[in-house]
Amino acid sequence: MFAKPQSEHAWLDQLIGDWKFEHDCQMPDGNTSKTEGKMTCRSLGGLWLVCESSGDAPESGPWSSIMTLGFDPAQNQYVGTFFGSMMANLWQYNGNREANGDRLVLDTLGPRFDGEGTCNYRDTIEIADSDRWLMSSELQDDAGNWVQFMCGTHTRV
């Protein structure tokens, strides 16, 4: 019953620690915003990464979020969740690392920005070096194109 961490789990260990971040957003409606905050990532038994973030958005005030990531050997893919104080949706991730191993691409389904139905989203975590990682968020438009709406840099504190 007790699972043992594998190399895929160890890859997530690169994110363990305290981070400061800056996210630049370009929403589909043209609005832009910049968010700064802090994140603490910890391991849960070597199998799960739990990242707790907080910040202050100029237009909406303080917020917090939790992201969980792990690797499910039965599905042979990374899995996880994301939820935040600024939304009512639970995002459920499924994804894989790209061939070079530096980027983890996580797919999910969530509400459209216009509030009409759902669409596909993609969050990508890219390890730049031991003290910096990048995150980008994209949505798939009605034509099937991926449109980036957020990019962020996380720097070890």
The domains of the chain, with CATH numbers, are: 7-156 (2.40.128.20)
DSSP-derived letter for residue 73 is: T
**Which pTM was predicted?**
0.94
DSSP-derived letter for residue 90 is: P
Pairing label, strands 48-57, 32-44: antiparallel
What is the C-alpha separation between 157 and 146, in angstroms, rounded?
32
pLDDT value at position 7? 96
What is the C-alpha separation between 21 and 38, in angstroms, rounded?
6
Q: How confident is the model at residue 58 (pLDDT cuts 50, 70, 90)?
A: confident
pLDDT in tens, 63-111: 999 999 999 999 999 999 999 999 999 999 999 999 888 999 999 999 9
DSSP-derived letter for residue 45 is: T
